[in-house]
Amino acid sequence: MQPFRVHSGLAAPLDRINVDTDQIIPKQFLKRIERTGYENFLFFDWRYVPSGAPNTDFILNEARYSGASILIAGANFGCGSSREHAVWALHDYGFRAILAPSFADIFAINCTKNGIPTVQLEQKVISELMRRAQAHAGYKVTVDLHAMKVSDGQGLSVRFFMDEFRRNCLLEGLDEIALTLQRDAEIDTYEQRTRVQQYRWPNI
C-alpha cells in the first residue's frame, strides 16, 4: 500500500447524500476476484445511460472534472453493504482522498486499508468546497495528513481530526498484512519455540 502524506489534486463535487456502496459499484461487478480493474464500473448506473453511452448529466462525465483525484461528497458516504470493491473502484478511477461531512464506519475502515483517507469536515465547509469546485474550473484542493489540514490556495484552510492509528497506517502505508509483518521477528521466535516444545519427548 502506498503511503499517503500530502496530495494536491483536482476536486470533483458529488452533491448527493447517503451514497451507498451499491451506487458506488453495483452488485453485478462483484464477481471478479482481482483487486484492480474496476474503474469503468464506478458509479456505473449514474455514469451511463441504458444504451451504454455516457450520461452527460452526471458530474464526473463533465470534461472539467476529468482526472479528478479528490472527491467532495455528501453526508453518510459509503453506507450500505461492506463491499471493499467500492473502495477499489474509487482508487482505480484515480481518487486519492474523499472529503465529506460523515462516512459509514466500515467504508472508512476499508478506505484506510487501501490508502485512501476519508476526511470528515463540517457541512458548511463541505458546502463551500462544493461551491468552489462548481464555480471555478480546475479547482484544486490539498490534503495534508501530516498537518491534518485541507486547503485550496484560495484562502480556505481547515483542520480535521483523524484517529491516530488510522492516520499512522496511512502515513506509513500499512495495511493489515504490513502491520503483522512488523512483528515478523516475534512471530518467528514464537513459532520456533512452539516447534521445539511440540517435538520434545516427555520424560519417562
The answer to whether residue 204 sits within a structural domain is no
With CA atoms as reference, report the closest residue to 101 among 82, 116, 84, 79: 79
The three cell numbers of residue 45 are 448506473
The answer to whether residue 142 sits within a structural domain is yes
Mean pLDDT throughout 39-55? 96
**How many domains does the chain divide into?**
1
Q: Are 6 and 136 in contact (CB under 8 A)?
A: no
Q: How far apart are CA 170 and CA 165, in angstroms?
A: 9
**pLDDT value for 94:** 97
The answer to whether residue 1 sits within a structural domain is no
Residue-wise pLDDT for 99-158, tens only, equals 999 999 999 999 999 999 999 999 999 999 999 999 999 999 999 999 999 999 899 999
The answer to whether residue 105 sits within a structural domain is yes
Q: Which domain holds residue 179?
A: 6-198
Burial of 109 (0-12, 13-18, 19+ CB in 10 A): middle
The answer to whether residue 159 sits within a structural domain is yes
The answer to whether residue 93 sits within a structural domain is yes
Residue-wise pLDDT for 173-186, tens only, equals 987 656 665 556 66
Bridge partners, residue 120, by sequence: 100
The answer to whether residue 203 sits within a structural domain is no
Backbone φ and ψ of 151, nearest 5°: -145, 165
- Banded model confidence at residue 201, pLDDT cuts 50, 70, 90: low
Residue-wise pLDDT for 5-37, tens only, equals 999 999 999 999 999 999 999 999 998 888 899
User: DSSP states of the chain as a string?
Assistant: ----SEEEEEEEEE--SS-BHHHHS-GGG-----SS--GGGTTHHHHB-TTS-B-TTSGGGSGGGTT--EEEE-TTBTBSS--THHHHHHHHHT--EEEES-B-HHHHHHHHHTT--EEE--HHHHHHHHHHHHHSTT-EEEEETTTTEEE-SSS-EEE----HHHHHHHHHT--HHHHHHTTHHHHHHHHHHHHHHHTPPPP-
The answer to whether residue 114 sits within a structural domain is yes
Where residue 159 sits, what CATH number does that domain have?
Answer: 3.20.19.10
| pTM for the whole structure | 0.87
Residue 14: CB atoms within 10 A of its CB come to 22
